[in-house]
Chains A and B, each alone.
Chain A
Amino acid sequence: AQSVTQLGSHVSVSEGALVLLRCNYSSSVPPYLFWYVQYPNQGLQLLLKYTSAATLVKGINGFEAEFKKSETSFHLTKPSAHMSDAAEYFCAVKSGANNLFFGTGTRLTVIP
């Protein structure tokens, strides 16, 4: 079985500060991991995905994530938060099955 746990349902950062959104996964086989962003009343947009080619994955909008097998983590970071980053972020895992298993999400607030 596979699942992801997102620590912190709400994260607030100041504009220009580091963004760190946490995701831990559980999977019995090598996982494929994804981060999606959702703006209010919108669908989900892929930020980045881990496909085992490299442990540090760069995505869109300046986000990146590092796969750490020893910690079963895939945390999302951005060096400097922008007001437009305010949204809900979802970590998801797929391992073998065709469907994605999503975490409960982290709402990011950026304070001016």
Chain B
Amino acid sequence: DTGVSQNPRHKITKRGQNVTFRCDPISEHNRLYWYRQTLGQGPEFLTYFQNEAQLEKSRLLSDRFSAERPKGSFSTLEIQRTEQGDSAMYLCASSNSGGPNTEAFFGQGTRLTVV
């Protein structure tokens, strides 16, 4: 297992376009998280899946953002009508079910630049 995989690693898009990112978690992990990290800041929680169910969404996740995990394996994060403020690193993480001390493993992220 090579860990959490995210594609693409980099995406440059024009304002107003739609973009979609993919995350492949560690295969036996049933929990999947999306975070956003802007320059000079720590990652901020966006949303969380347990298997295919989206159980929690941050208020940061505006209606232009949608995330899916259709079969409880890979996940996609789509941003519609991108804005310059969406420029950030989007990080995916996965973990086993377990207590709060369960480690989350992070992917290398997708860096989005909106021009």
Please list the residues of chain A having a beta carbon within 8 angstroms of any beta carbon in chain B: 9, 32, 34, 36, 41-46, 49, 51, 90, 92, 94-105
Instruction: Judge whether B108 is part of the interface by a CB distance below 8 angstroms.
Output: yes
Q: A residues within 8 A CB of B56?
A: 97-99
Give the A-binding residues of B (Cβ under 8 A). 4, 6, 31, 33, 35, 40-45, 48, 55-56, 91, 93, 99-101, 103-109, 111
Q: Which residues of B contact A44 (CB under 8 A)?
A: 43, 91, 93, 106
Complex CA gap A9/B40 in Å reads 9
Residues of B within 8 A of A42 (CB): 108-109
| Interface contact B107-A43, CB-CB below 8 Å | yes
**With A43-B91, A43-B108, A43-B109 as contacts: A101 and B103 at CB distance below 8 Å:** no
User: Shortest distance in angstroms between A32's beta carbon and chain B's nearest beta carbon?
Assistant: 5
Top 7 nearest A-B pairs by Cβ distance? A102-B42, A43-B106, A99-B45, A51-B101, A44-B106, A43-B108, A32-B100
Most buried by A among B33, B55, B56, B106: B106
Write the chain A residue with the least CB distance to B58. A99
Task: Give chain B nearest CB distance to A55 CB in angstroms.
Answer: 15
Residues of A within 8 A of B103 (CB): 34, 46, 49
A105 to B109 alpha-carbon distance, docked (Å): 17
Q: How far, in angstroms, from A67 to B21 measured CA to CA in the complex?
A: 37
Can you show 7 pairs from A to B with CB atoms below 8 A apart? A42-B109, A45-B106, A46-B104, A49-B101, A96-B100, A98-B56, A101-B45
Task: Find out whether the CB atom of A99 lies under 8 angstroms from the CB atom of B42.
Answer: no
- Which residue of the partner chain A has the closest CB to B103? A46
| Contact yes or no, A98 B31, CB < 8 A | yes
Kindly name the residue among B31, B44, B104, B109 whose own CB sees the greatest number of chain A CB atoms within 10 A: B104
Contact A99 B48 (CB under 8 A): yes
Residue of A nearest to B42 (CB): A102
Name which of B35, B43, B45, B106 has the most chain A CB atoms within 10 A of its CB: B43
Question: Which residue of A9, A36, A94, A98 has the most chain B CB atoms within 10 A of its CB atom?
Answer: A98
